[in-house]
Amino acid sequence: MAKSSADDAELRRACEAAIEGSKHKVSLSIRTVKTHGTWGKSAKLGRQMAKPRVLALCTKAKGQRTKAFLRVLKYSNGGVLEPAKLYKLKHLSKVEVAANDPSGCTFTLGFDNLRNQTVAPPQWTMRNIDDRNRLLLCILNICKDVLGRLPKVVGVDVVEMALWAKENKPAVSTQSNQQDGASVESAVTETELKVNVEKELVSQAEEEDMEALLGTYIMGVGEAEAFSERLKRELQALEAANVHAILESEPLIDEVLQGLESATNCLEDMDEWLGMFNVKLRHMREDIESIESRNNKLEMQSINNKTLIEELDKLLEQLSIPSGYSACLTGDSFDEALMMQNIEACEWLTTAMRGLEVPNIDPMYAKMRGVKEKRGELQIIKSTFVGKASEYMRCYFASFVDFMLNDKNYFSQRGQLKRPDHADLRFKCRTYARLLKHLKILDKNCLGPLRKAYCASLNLLLRKEAREFANELRSCTKTSKTQTVWFEAFTGSGQNVNSADTSTVSDAYAKILTIFIPLLVDESTFLAHFLCFEDPSVIDSKKAGSNNGDNDDDLGMLDIDEDDSKSSKNSVDFAALNESLQDLLDGMQVCI
């Protein structure tokens, strides 16, 4: 066997010096060459790119455990070994001998913890097969002894390696004492010792027993035939004794046979019982599967029932009418103190009716008889409530305006010629403004009679205020005796009139126009907002954008800019508005 670098003590010391301080014990150090290959391709070896390296197998004791490492050392510029890489043998998963190397000296070591698995691991090329087998056997032995497992070996026959290891065991040299002035050396390999021991047929104790037995016989060397005859006789005697013992044990054999027969019968009975039990178990399994299937269906049905109950509870809650709202919607009280409750009841009624219509409600629920009945009930409640509220407000505003018309103090205590004060009327209107919006949402046709009643009553008030104002202005203005002169001045006639009288009459008419024309514009604007000529959705969006809730119901003289007029241009019913304005302003030209 050629001398290997694995036996180089100087190389081992150089490796130990290179890894000094790491507490690693070098088990094997051997020279090799590092090459690069390609995964899955039979490429030729790149000998020109080979790099000399030294592989050192090391172990490190840590407590009761031992760790194994493979160190790669390289030569520095000065030819001194220095550590290059460190691999843990516990991550070694594969040892593969390269098939594209005819010499069989190239192999790769696959580690499962490498970060970049797409790059092929380096290939190691040994000087000869013996060096390759030494390194691989050492790795396998360390993995088996230290880690308790072996990596996968590909491309080499493990039996051949075992035979190689058996043939290449290191020799055990012994030197005997010098006899007759000459020294005798004998080299006996461990393999030969092991083979000689394995060839012994009897143990040491058996050998001693045989020697004691032979010692009982006093025979010479020439008595071999007599010894053979004696052994034959003793063997025959032993066989006869054995036959006799067998014959004597016949009753026992019969008893044993009977026991075996009864056991056989028991086994047959047990086999029948087991067959019956198997049938019963099969039926029981089928019953269990059927029960499990029914249980699954019941569980699914329970879940569906629970979900259905929850949906029905929501639907019933949606269909039920709260007692407080029911009292407001079916009652006849529309006083100012109860107006907030009535408005809340209107909001609930609007929401409830919308909630029962598709797509706010599931089409499947919309076809249910209970939903249809509840929808009809809400329609009846809506009609009743709208009719009562409209009639009440029509009578209320008519009576309030009649009260103002018949109130002498309202016309006698105004003092100077000023614009009529409708603050009390506006305050009353402010109380019922939100209710009118909800009434329009519930039934937009209900506002027609209410608008006519309001315009008729307010028209009477405005006409009376205009006449009273004109009478007071007439009493305060001094004119000529001829009453037709100042009328003709405004018709453009060419007659000569008194300039002073004309100026006085012009001032009087200018004062009437500057007071009543803005008043009529203000009342017209108030009418449009108060009697809901705008789209309720537009009004609701304006209310939602306001930060102060009190301003939402402020129906005084509203500021309407161009943007507001453009946004609500399409939402105003101009025909109905013009009709109401005509009812409101009818006859005012005669009074003025």
Q: How many CB atoms lie within 10 A of CB 106?
A: 23
Residues 321-346, mean pLDDT to the nearest whole number? 79
DSSP string, 26-77: EEEEEEEEEE---TT--PPP-GGG-EEEEEEEEEEEETTEEEEEEEEEEE-T
| Per-residue confidence (pLDDT) for residue 45, from 0 to 100 | 43
* pLDDT exceeds cutoff 60 at 262: yes
**The one-letter amino acid at 223:** E
| Per-residue confidence (pLDDT) for residue 560, from 0 to 100 | 34
Residues 175-197, mean pLDDT to the nearest whole number? 38
* pLDDT exceeds cutoff 50 at 251: yes
Judged by average pLDDT, the poorest of 29-38, 280-289, 342-351 is 29-38
* pLDDT exceeds cutoff 90 at 405: no
Residue 296 — very low, low, confident or very high, per pLDDT cuts 50/70/90? very high
Tally: H helices and E strands in the chain: 20, 10
Say if residues 467 and 410 touch (Cβ distance below 8 Å): no
Q: In the predicted model, what is the mean pLDDT of the chain?
A: 75
d(CA 158, CA 136): 10
| Measured torsion, CA atoms of residues 488, 493, 494, 500, in degrees rounded to the nearest 10 | 30
Token pair belonging to 516: 């009543």
Say if residues 568 and 535 touch (Cβ distance below 8 Å): yes
Residue 40 — very low, low, confident or very high, per pLDDT cuts 50/70/90? very low
| Per-residue confidence (pLDDT) for residue 273, from 0 to 100 | 93
d(CA 237, CA 334): 137
| Per-residue confidence (pLDDT) for residue 312, from 0 to 100 | 79
Say if residues 425 and 400 touch (Cβ distance below 8 Å): yes
| Per-residue confidence (pLDDT) for residue 46, from 0 to 100 | 43
CA neighbor of 339 nearest in space, from 429, 247, 228, 474? 429
Residues 365-393, mean pLDDT to the nearest whole number? 81
d(CA 552, CA 546): 7
Residues 400-411, mean pLDDT to the nearest whole number? 77
| Per-residue confidence (pLDDT) for residue 177, from 0 to 100 | 39
Token pair belonging to 193: 């010792």
| Per-residue confidence (pLDDT) for residue 557, from 0 to 100 | 36
d(CA 255, CA 258): 5
- What is the three-class DSSP state of 3? coil
* pLDDT exceeds cutoff 80 at 316: no
**The one-letter amino acid at 153:** V
| Per-residue confidence (pLDDT) for residue 266, from 0 to 100 | 93
Residues 534-558, mean pLDDT to the nearest whole number? 43
Say if residues 389 and 342 touch (Cβ distance below 8 Å): yes
**The one-letter amino acid at 107:** F
| Per-residue confidence (pLDDT) for residue 174, from 0 to 100 | 37
**Phi/psi at 233 (nearest 5 deg)?**
-65, -45
* pLDDT exceeds cutoff 80 at 514: yes
The residue written with tokens 């305006």 in the block is 401
- Report H helices in 115-157: 129-142
Judged on CB neighbours under 10 Å (0-12, 13-18, 19+), 432 is buried
Residue 49 — very low, low, confident or very high, per pLDDT cuts 50/70/90? low
| Per-residue confidence (pLDDT) for residue 202, from 0 to 100 | 56
* pLDDT exceeds cutoff 90 at 285: yes
Residue 271 — very low, low, confident or very high, per pLDDT cuts 50/70/90? very high
* pLDDT exceeds cutoff 80 at 195: no
pLDDT in tens, 450-502: 888 888 888 888 888 888 887 877 777 655 444 444 444 444 444 444 555 56
Residues 332-347, mean pLDDT to the nearest whole number? 80
Rg (CA), the chain: 61
d(CA 58, CA 64): 17
pLDDT in tens, 70-87: 999 998 888 888 898 899
| Per-residue confidence (pLDDT) for residue 8, from 0 to 100 | 79
pLDDT in tens, 95-139: 999 888 888 899 999 888 776 666 677 889 988 988 888 999 899
Residue 523 — very low, low, confident or very high, per pLDDT cuts 50/70/90? confident
Judged on CB neighbours under 10 Å (0-12, 13-18, 19+), 529 is middle
The residue written with tokens 């009643």 in the block is 453
DSSP string, 498-564: -HHHHHHHHHHHHHHHHHHHHHHHHHHHHHHHHTT-S-HHHHHHHHHH-S-GGGGG--SS----HHH
pLDDT in tens, 418-458: 788 888 888 888 878 888 888 888 887 887 888 888 888 88
| Per-residue confidence (pLDDT) for residue 148, from 0 to 100 | 85
Tell me which of 189 and 119 has the higher pLDDT.
Answer: 119
